[in-house]
Structure 1
């Protein structure tokens, strides 16, 4: 068998390859590498995102620290300071201690307050009102210029009482009840008197007078000065009680009474008085 002149006994075929000629299989077996182009501004966006993440982490760390330090006073405040009955409660300016609301409380003695300086009723009949309050309107000043509040309340022992004149109209009857200061010192009346109708034996006839609601002011009575109220009844309408023989009057704020002769008839339960006004012509003045 005749061999090729290019064959070599050792089987080396290197001499058959052209060293200057590229291998035709290299483009298939080793394709050229291609690289993606970086988009414009990509690195700036990455840095901004990283900065935002760092800021977010810093904010979360600060918030967690604030929560821990802010809750510390409440944790400390929950610890008992006096063996269980006192709790430390945190406040804006410090820690306030107070009794545990869930622990039994000792009975608290009632507070002692000074009672108002008013006479204690001793013999006032049931249903007979007596007023000693001050009205919301202005003040009435006595002849000497003395204002209410500087004079004591008038008592029954300082006053005389009388039935004055009256008026009538549209079936209504009005009588003036006058109180006069008979002492040498000033006193005042304020509000409504207690007023009852009595028979000749001193027994009360019907209910005491009701109050004709209106504004009023204290009235200072200088020695010999007078104040008056208006008694309102109706003229023989409806059912009438027997006509009174006497009137019982309680000055405002006093428990002692004055009894005077007087004929008043309570018909149809219309029996009322106004508050005191200065003078002898009732309230309002005629």
Structure 2
């Protein structure tokens, strides 16, 4: 079959009025043959492999080693905790058993109690045998020092200290000396290291014996009878009952300091309350209270005071 210029390249006759096939890039009628797609070289080109960053493997190894160390530490801590818990449980169980074992040795404490019980019976015989004198004489200094003030305790001192005087019935058979049967005066004195000591003497002017026990009350007065400062305080000295026969005397020591510091006016009179008496004796006497130190001792036999 002879073709015509207007025939289709495939050999089909040209249809009148149909568009002709342009010569595209892939058309056999293209002047230079088929043209290659420019994107095909980019899409089908071999991709090169990326190399690892510098030091990446070292970092990976370090992280792996760190994870291993952490796991090892956690495992070790868990093992230690388990062991500690086991030891604690074992110890608690052992302690419980130990408490049960400790119970019977309490018999050793029971064994020690009989000696204490045997010691108790041993003490009464000496007390029973020494009740007339020895125990009472040993206990007399303690109540004297601890209860110098109250007059109610004076009867206790009378009964407790009677063995020391040798006349156990003397305070019980003699009445207490009252202000009506006493005469007060200042006796001698002493001094040393800035301290002054004057003796207060009380004399029995009655016709019968009487007794004095403990501290008198003492205050300093001016010429008009007004009190100067506070009453005298008491020195912590023990005492015993003093039996005064008619004309007998008892005395105590008035403690002051030499005129230094702040001194109150000198007294013109001294007021004394005998122990256990509400009536007072007032007599002339010059005493100065300096640095607020005015103290007395309990009464003692004689007229030379009660040494400190």
What's the TM-score, normalizing by structure 2?
0.48
Q: Please tell me whether residue 185 in structure 1 is matched to residue 208 in structure 2.
A: yes
Cα distance per residue 1:196-227 (max 9 Å; x no partner): 00000000000000001111101011111110
Write the distance in 2 (CA, Å) between the matches of 1:152 and 1:169. Answer: 38
SS state at 1:196 partner: strand
| Displacement of 1:246 | 0.1
| Displacement of 1:255 | 0.6
SS state at 2:180 partner: helix
Aligned to 2:260: 237
Q: Which of 192, 196, 205 is residue 219 of structure 2 equivalent to?
A: 196
SS state at 2:201 partner: strand
Alignment of 1:272-283 (within 5 A): 272-283=295-306
Which 4+ stretches in 1 moved above 6 angstroms? none
- Alpha-carbon distance change, 206 to 157 in structure 1, aligned in 2, over 3 angstroms: same
Write the distance in 2 (CA, Å) between the matches of 1:260 and 1:284. Answer: 23
| Displacement of 1:151 | 1.1
1:130/1:251 contact within 8 Å kept: no
- Gaps (5+ residues) in structure 1? 1-128
Q: Please tell me whether residue 176 in structure 1 is matched to residue 186 in structure 2.
A: no
Bigger helix fraction: 2
SS state at 2:237 partner: coil
Write the distance in 2 (CA, Å) between the matches of 1:172 and 1:208. Answer: 18
Write the distance in 2 (CA, Å) between the matches of 1:130 and 1:244. Answer: 27
1:216/1:277 contact within 8 Å kept: yes
Alignment of 1:1-286 (within 5 A): 131=151, 133-134=153-154, 135=157, 138-139=161-162, 141=165, 147-284=170-307
- Alpha-carbon distance change, 203 to 193 in structure 1, aligned in 2, over 3 angstroms: same
- Cα RMSD of the aligned pairs, angstroms, is 2.3
Write the distance in 2 (CA, Å) between the matches of 1:267 and 1:203. Answer: 18
Aligned to 1:53: none
| Displacement of 1:145 | 8.4
1:229/1:282 contact within 8 Å kept: yes
Aligned to 2:51: none
When the two structures are aligned, how many residues end up with a matched partner? 156
What's the TM-score, normalizing by structure 1?
0.51
SS state at 1:149 partner: helix
SS state at 2:230 partner: coil
Query: More relative contact order in 1 or in 2 (CA 8 Å, sep 6+)?
Result: 1
1:141/1:148 contact within 8 Å kept: no
- Gaps (5+ residues) in structure 2? 1-148
- Alpha-carbon distance change, 273 to 238 in structure 1, aligned in 2, over 3 angstroms: same
Write the distance in 2 (CA, Å) between the matches of 1:146 and 1:279. Answer: 21
| Displacement of 1:130 | 7.9
| Displacement of 1:284 | 2.4
1:189/1:276 contact within 8 Å kept: yes
